[in-house]
Structures are given as structure tokens and as C-alpha cells.
């Protein structure tokens, strides 16, 4: 069960690699998966509507070329702290 969850979460990352040429490192993937455990429902991966929406809202159009492994939406200072420790 746990491996199928990991594979389903990793699939968008592999597709992102194929589409953009970006190669997420094991460390960044691991960090995003850990953050998702700590912030369920607030961690978004490529191909999700929230991820796409958030990555189009950068204050600078030059930053739109960035392709983060995940995007998080913490709602409190405690959640920011928790995500930064992951």
C-alpha cells in the first residue's frame, strides 16, 4: 500500500521531468513527501490544479520558468515552521 502511494505521488514528478527536462533530486522529492505527511491537503504536486494555479502567480514573470517539485500552502506560522523542518 505505501509503495503504491509513493508511486502515485512520484508519477507527476516523472512526467514533469519528461515535459521540462528538470530532474527532481531524491532529496527534494523526499522533502516534499515528508511535508505532505505533515501538511495533508496543503501540499500540491505537478499536474494538480492547485500546483498549476500557484506556479502561475509569481510576482515576476521570469520566475514562471521555475518548476518546483511541490508547492505548499501553509495557513499558520506553525505550519511554516513545520514545513521548513521537513
Tens of each residue's pLDDT in the chain, 86 residues:
443 444 445 445 444 444 555 688 999 999 999 999 999 999 999 999 999 998 888 777 777 777 889 999 999 999 999 888 86
Distance between first and last Cα of the chain = 23
What is the reported pLDDT for 23? Answer: 80
Can you give the residue ranges of every domain in the chain?
Answer: 2-84
The whole-model pTM stands at 0.66
CA distance 1 to 42: 22
Amino acid at each position: 500500500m505505501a509503495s503504491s502511494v509513493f508511486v502515485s505521488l512520484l508519477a507527476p514528478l516523472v512526467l514533469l521531468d519528461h515535459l521540462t527536462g528538470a530532474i527532481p533530486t531524491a532529496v527534494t522529492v523526499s522533502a516534499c513527501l515528508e511535508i505532505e505527511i505533515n501538511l495533508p491537503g496543503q501540499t500540491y504536486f505537478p499536474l494538480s490544479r492547485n500546483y498549476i494555479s500557484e506556479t502561475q502567480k509569481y510576482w515576476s514573470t521570469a520566475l514562471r520558468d521555475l518548476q518546483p517539485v511541490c508547492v505548499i500552502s501553509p495557513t499558520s506560522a506553525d505550519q511554516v515552521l513545520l514545513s521548513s523542518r521537513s
